[in-house]
Amino acid sequence: MFGLKKKDSPTAEKSLFDRLCRGLQKTRSGLFAGLDVLFRSSNKIDKSLLEDIETRLLMADLGVESTTNIINSLNGALKRNELNDMDQLMASLRKHMLEQLLPLQQSMELSSTAPKPFVILVVGVNGAGKTTTIGKLTHRYLKQGYKVILAAGDTFRAAAIEQIKVWGAKTNVPVIAQQSGSDAAAVIYDALQSARARGTDIVIADTAGRLHNQSHLMQELKKIRRTISKFDPDLAVEVLLVIDAGTGQNALTQARKFNELIGLTGIALTKLDGTAKGGIVFALANSLDIPIRFIGIGEQLDDLRPFNAEAFIDALLDAET
Ligand SMILES: Nc1nc2c(ncn2[C@@H]2O[C@H](COP(=O)(O)OP(=O)(O)O)[C@@H](O)[C@H]2O)c(=O)[nH]1
Ligand SMILES: [Mg+2]
């Protein structure tokens, strides 16, 4: 039912990589610059140098578990006399960092067997970047030739409904909305009906990030999830948690909570451009088994990238931009 994606040309890939490097600049300068100074100022690869690397990784918010795994692997390589110069050390560091992240790299595929529409239910705390990510996703799928409808499921604030309408106007896609205070599950149900009637490929649903209390929010999300299944139990549904990378280790708590409640299928990590805490990706990799579908590296429509572990690590560790 869904077509194939276009492949980017080598020049386009190069400039995409440059943009990624720029987007990750803050984490990159903390981590890479720190490692570079370490490597240049050390004349010996020993346990103490590995301890300094450990400190650097922790400072970039990789988390204790990922850092320990990486350092243990480096210690193993050191004992086996595999780290004879700085190039070998760097290659080994890169390899072990990649091992941590590769399991998280699973792109969000539109099912070829499930009935239309594919549903992307976007959840997360207030200000995480949900609505902006929806705008970027819309842009992405339109470019790939899909038909998209948006559901203004953050009915808690009138401003939120206006905001998603702005994205709808910008990308020229229909936005199904009711007035603020209405039932979010009903809005999303309307959007599904409308999508079916029009043969739309994808429905992207916004949700509220905060209600009067946490348990109300969670109940509302559960109801929305049930409503989607009630509409058609065979729909393919991506429950995408949007997390602001700048929240650091708190991101883990958010991911666990939302996952317990409605079962996440993917994560979009936003605002990596604004933080030096990009290492949080590693912490997420170690504490949860949920793929990182996308990373957000700016506020423009094309600043959302499918997560690619190798490109991510290259962007953090490569010397030249
Ligand atoms: N720099 C940057 N800003 C972002 C990114 N994603 C979202 N934002 C900004 O974060 C703020 C909150 O985003 P919004 O989508 O309204 O969050 P929501 O409350 O979860 O819907 C807005 O000012 C966005 O422009 C990103 O990847 N990079
Ligand atoms: Mg919003």
Instruction: For residue 115, give both structure tokens.
Output: 């009935």
Model confidence pLDDT, tens digit, residues 60-109: 888 899 999 999 999 999 999 999 998 899 999 999 999 999 999 999 98
Model confidence pLDDT, tens digit, residues 107-160: 998 888 899 999 999 999 999 999 999 999 999 999 999 999 999 999 988 899
Q: What percent of the chain has pLDDT over 90?
A: 67
Given the structure tokens 């229909």, which residue do they identify?
Answer: 174
Please tell me the distance between residue 59's alpha carbon and the centre of ligand 2 in angstroms.
30
Res 2: pLDDT: 40
Res 36: pLDDT: 80
Its pTM stands at: 0.92
Query: Residues 228-248: what's their mean pLDDT?
Result: 95
At residue 214 the predicted structure's pLDDT band, cuts being 50, 70 and 90, is confident
Query: Residues 206-232: what's their mean pLDDT?
Result: 88
Name the residue of 27, 132, 150, 292 whose CB sits within 8 Å of the most ligand 1 atoms, as the mutation to test its pocket: 132
Is it the case that residue 4 has pLDDT exceeding 50? no
At residue 9 the predicted structure's pLDDT band, cuts being 50, 70 and 90, is low
At residue 22 the predicted structure's pLDDT band, cuts being 50, 70 and 90, is confident
Q: What percent of the chain has pLDDT over 70?
A: 94
Task: Give the strand order in the sheet containing 175-176.
Answer: 175-176, 148-151, 202-205, 118-123, 237-244, 266-270, 292-296, 304-306
Res 10: pLDDT: 64
Alpha-carbon torsion 166, 171, 177, 181, what sign? negative
Instruction: Please provide residue 145's backbone torsions phi and psi, each rounded to the nearest 5 degrees.
Output: 95, 10
Please tell me the distance between residue 138's alpha carbon and the centre of ligand 1 in angstroms.
15
Longest dimension (CA), the chain: 68
- The ligand 1 atom at the shortest distance from the C-alpha of residue 125 is 20
Res 287: pLDDT: 86
- The ligand 1 atom at the shortest distance from the C-alpha of residue 136 is 6
Computed over every residue of the chain, the mean pLDDT equals: 90
Res 220: pLDDT: 92
Is it the case that residue 215 has pLDDT exceeding 80? yes
Beta bridge partners of 267: 241, 292
Is it the case that residue 245 has pLDDT exceeding 90? yes
Res 3: pLDDT: 36
Which ligand is located closest to the Cα atom of residue 153?
2
Q: How far apart are CA 278 and CA 69, in angstroms?
A: 18
Angle of CA points 164, 137, 14, to nearest 5°? 140
Ligand 1, residues at Cβ distance < 6 Å? 124, 126-132, 209, 242, 270-271, 273-274, 296-299, 303
Which ligand is located closest to the Cα atom of residue 154?
2
Comparing 15-19, 30-34, 217-221, 298-302, the range with the smallest average pLDDT is: 30-34
- The ligand 1 atom at the shortest distance from the C-alpha of residue 303 is 27
The CB-based long-range contact list for 16-21 (8 Å cut-off, 24+ gap) reads 16/305, 17/311, 17/314, 17/315, 18/321, 19/297, 19/303, 20/297, 20/305, 20/311, 20/312, 20/315, 21/315, 21/318, 21/321
Q: How far apart are CA 295 and CA 278, in angstroms?
A: 10
- The residues near 259 (Cβ < 8 Å, ≥ 6 apart) are 241, 288, 290
Res 6: pLDDT: 44
Please tell me the distance between residue 296's alpha carbon and the centre of ligand 1 in angstroms.
9
Nearest CA to ligand 1 atom 25: 299
Q: Which residues surround ligand 2, an ion (CB under 5 A)?
A: 130-131, 160
- The ligand 1 atom at the shortest distance from the C-alpha of residue 274 is 1
Res 217: pLDDT: 84
Please tell me the distance between residue 154's alpha carbon and the centre of ligand 2 in angstroms.
7
Please tell me the distance between residue 126's alpha carbon and the centre of ligand 1 in angstroms.
10
Element holding 268 (H helix, E strand): strand 266-270
Instruction: For residue 7, give both structure tokens.
Output: 């492949």
Cβ proximity of 273 and 25 under 8 Å: yes
Res 263: pLDDT: 94
- The ligand 1 atom at the shortest distance from the C-alpha of residue 134 is 15
Res 43: pLDDT: 81
Model confidence pLDDT, tens digit, residues 172-203: 999 999 999 999 999 999 999 999 999 999 99
